Amino acid sequence: MELKLERLNLLNRRYARGFLLSAFSLLLISFSLVSPAGYAPSLPATAGFNPAVQVPLQNANTTTTSSATTTTATASTTSTPTNSSIVAPANSGGGSNDWVANAPAGTLIGEVIGTLVTSGLTSEKSRASGAADVYSLQINSNLGNTFPVTYFGGKELASGITGWEQFLYYNSPPNGQIFIEYWLDGYYTVYGSCPPASEDPPGGGVGWFRKGTSGDCIFNTTGLSFTPDVPAEYLGLLTFSAYATSSEDGIQLCGAALGRGASGCVTTSVPASVLGLYQYWDQSEFNVFGINNGDQAIFNSGTTITVENELLNGKGVSFGTAQYVIGGATLESNNLNLASTSSQGATYVEFTESNAVETLTTGVDSGSGSVSPNCPKGQGGCSEEFGSGSFFKTPVTVTATASSGWQFAAWSTQTGITCSTNPCTFAMPLNAVTLKAAFIPVMTVSYAILGGGTPSAPTFNYVLNGAVNSLTLTTTAQTVSVDLGSAWSVTPNPLGGSSSSQQWYSTQALTGTASASTIVFIFQHQYYLTMKASGPGTVTPSSGWYNSGAKVTIKATANSGHKFKSWTGKGTGSYTGTKNPTTITMNAAITETATFT
């Protein structure tokens, strides 16, 4: 009884600590505690909740011990706190991302009192369900440093079985519920089952059950269920406390927000030290999180919450000094960033967490294509409110789709995350994310030979990712990705296998700037025509290259006082005779000599 009275006195002192609570909240809470019976604090009405109306507890038995309501809760798992560096992570909770209070060396915790001071908080919802005002307050013991359980249920437990406890307030409209969750880590692994009903803690509850497929066993107490629930906007009006003694484990939730009359408190306890926590309790995590199964409490943008986690000894006296580390025992989290440092009061650990706007911006940096979802910067991107709050449920998938003739190259702009795949799937972090795609051209290239022959194939030279590459062309189309705006070329011209008498030559442009295109490089088989004059006269045309199979008219013109005599031709398709002019066919390299007299 003395401990409970001292605890009430401490709670009164908590409410009176003006530098922690707003003046408005302080006034409301103080009235709730000391006003005459029947006084109802005046708070703005919220849909489904009116703190000015005193609603009786849901169950007929409204004593300070457990009611008959049963809630099945799925607990979180433990993790080892990180003590080596004090680095504030994003998204409070989630296993190891929280400020944790440590009792001074050589001392043990008897009670923890947690309060929240809020600013800018207007709404909260569950990431998993999207439902409003679904959250939990959690005081978690010993975190990753679980304590040994040497005696439980009237029997010695095997070495290596450890325990820890969660003191929980679940807010799930229209109800609120406080209860205790006991953990026996490794029990199922050792014994192949969880403790039988005969070893249930006194007071009733959900029997021991296995946590998923793990080796751990969990017990949820019956707890106390009540109406109405407390909307998240009134979190600053609540104080949540948990205690452990040699004969009792208990929870108390107090505050004007409960609308409970003069005391403004609901309490539940288990009349036994089920796991002997009072002998080992030296760490405490307190915060507001999602309600279970790794859920996240999503607060409106601009929310700031100052968390105070105060440790008391077994006599209800605050410790002279509190210490802190980064750690955490719950898989649940919120969407608030921890402050980069944690201030320490004389008897408590205090820290601030706040959120930024969860905004996704997508777009195209270069090339031709699209990105889905379309969240252009100029239109403010896509925020958490996009799609009625469902858009940022894990996972988020961003897909880049190239236009015809283009190919996705990379996420050329990335902020907030790092992604090398397309589609890019990720859990939306608290901060803003920008993903913009770069698309590069795809060139479809081949070559063709006109006029026959078997020269060596040409080479297509191009640039990809800043490096020069080469591709041997074939007469079948090939595709190649190239850097946008880079230079390409085709070599050699004429092709290998050419000589002074025949060649394979292209008159096309064999250099250019990369773009999405299809090109067939044409190489013409040509023969060389040699034209000669023997004697006083001239011949046309001049010597040169002609396409294979081309018909060429040749003509001899004698000088004044002289006359043409005849043609002498060598090579397939040549002409020998006196006809002038005459026609030859370039079926091979040809030499034509005109004789004059």
Please tell me which residue, 3 or 201, carries the higher pLDDT value: 201
Most confident by average pLDDT, 195-209, 350-364, 563-577: 563-577
Q: Same domain for 323 and 363?
A: no
Please identify, among 527, 557, 584, the residue that sits at the C-terminal boundary of a domain: 527
pLDDT at residue 95 greater than cutoff 60 = no
- The pLDDT value recorded for residue 339 is 66
**Do 424 and 326 fall within a single domain?**
no
How far, in whole angstroms, is CA 77 from its chain's centroid?
22
With beta carbons less than 8 A apart as the criterion, state whether 348 and 103 touch.
no
Return the SS3 of 23.
Answer: helix
Per-residue model confidence as pLDDT tens digits over 518-569: 999 999 999 999 999 999 999 999 999 999 999 999 999 999 999 999 999 9
Does 111 lie in the same domain as 53?
Answer: yes
Report yes or no: 288 and 336 within 8 Å, Cβ to Cβ.
no
pLDDT at residue 420 above 50?
yes
User: How many distinct structural domains can be found in the chain?
Assistant: 3
- State the average pLDDT over residues 331-345: 72
Under DSSP, is residue 27 helix (H, G, I), strand (E, B) or coil? helix
Q: Are residues 460 and 477 in the same domain?
A: yes
User: Predicted confidence band at 417 (pLDDT cuts at 50, 70, 90)?
Assistant: confident
Q: Is the dihedral of CA 458, 462, 464, 469 positive or negative?
A: positive
Do both 218 and 366 map to the same domain?
Answer: no
Helix axes 2-15, 23-34, angle to 10 degrees: 150
Token pair in block for residue 293: 């199964």
The answer to whether the CB of 323 falls within 8 A of the CB of 104 is: yes
In this predicted structure, the answer to whether residue 3 has a pLDDT above a threshold of 60 is no
- Among 148-157, 450-459, 475-484, 557-566, name the one with the lowest average pLDDT: 148-157
Regarding whether 273 and 188 lie in a shared domain, the answer is yes
Please say whether the beta carbons of 32 and 255 come within 8 A: yes
User: Does one domain contain both 389 and 303?
Assistant: no
Are residues 206 and 74 part of one domain? yes
The Cα–Cα gap between 587 and 597 comes to: 30
| Tens digits of residue pLDDT in 363-416 | 999 999 999 988 876 555 676 543 334 455 557 889 999 999 999 999 999 988
- What pLDDT, on a 0 to 100 scale, did the predictor assign at position 73? 24
More confident of the two residues 88 and 589: 589
Determine if the peptide bond prior to 41 is cis (ω within 30°): no
Mean pLDDT (whole number) for 184-208: 89
Residue whose C-alpha is closest to residue 569's, from 551, 545, 590, 547: 590
Question: Which band of pLDDT confidence, cut at 50, 70 and 90, is reported for residue 4?
Answer: very low
Using alpha carbons, select from 329, 75, 95, 333 the residue that is nearest to residue 210: 75
Above 90 in pLDDT, residue 67? no
- Which contiguous run of DSSP H or E holds residue 415? strand 406-415
CA 415-418-419 angle, to 5 degrees, is 120
Q: How far is CA 348 from CA 19, 132, 317, 342, 594, in A?
A: 13, 31, 12, 11, 115
* H/E element, 289: strand 283-289
- Count the alpha carbons within 13 Å of 74 in the hemisphere toward its beta carbon: 12
Q: Are residues 104 and 225 in the same domain?
A: yes
- pLDDT for 167: 95
Give the pLDDT score at 84.
25
- Structural contact between residues 48 and 231, judged by C-beta atoms closer than 8 angstroms: yes
Q: Within a 10 A sphere around the Cβ of 401, how many other Cβ atoms? A: 14
- Residue 175 confidence (pLDDT) above 50: yes
Lowest mean pLDDT among 174-178, 424-428, 487-491, 494-498: 424-428
Question: Which residue, among 166, 167, 165, 100, has the nearest Cα to 328 in the 3D structure?
Answer: 100
Domain identity same for 364 and 350: no
**Of 332, 354, 376, which residue is a domain's last?**
354
Q: How far is CA 216 from CA 160, 163, 191, 223, in A?
A: 12, 9, 11, 21
pLDDT of residue 478: 97
The pLDDT, as a whole number, for residue 356 is: 57
* pLDDT of the residue at 431: 62
Of 318, 336, 354, the one marking the end of a domain is 354
- Domain span at residue 559 reads 535-596
Q: Is the pLDDT assigned to residue 322 strictly greater than 80?
A: no
pTM of the model: 0.53
pLDDT in tens, 267-316: 999 888 888 888 889 888 999 999 988 888 988 878 888 888 888 888 88
Q: Which amino acid is at 15?
A: Y
pLDDT given at position 394: 58
Same domain, 324 and 404: no
Pair 120, 235: CB distance under 8 Å: no
From the list 157, 247, 159, the residue with the least C-alpha distance to 201 is: 247
**pLDDT tens, 480-531?**
999 999 999 999 999 999 999 999 999 999 999 999 999 999 999 999 999 9
Average pLDDT over residues 84-105: 60
Q: Which range is least confidently modeled, 4-18, 88-102, 155-169, 443-457?
A: 4-18
Q: What is the largest CA-CA distance in the chain?
A: 146
Asked if residue 276 and residue 385 are part of one domain, the reply reads no
Report d(CA 23, CA 34) in Å as an integer. Answer: 16
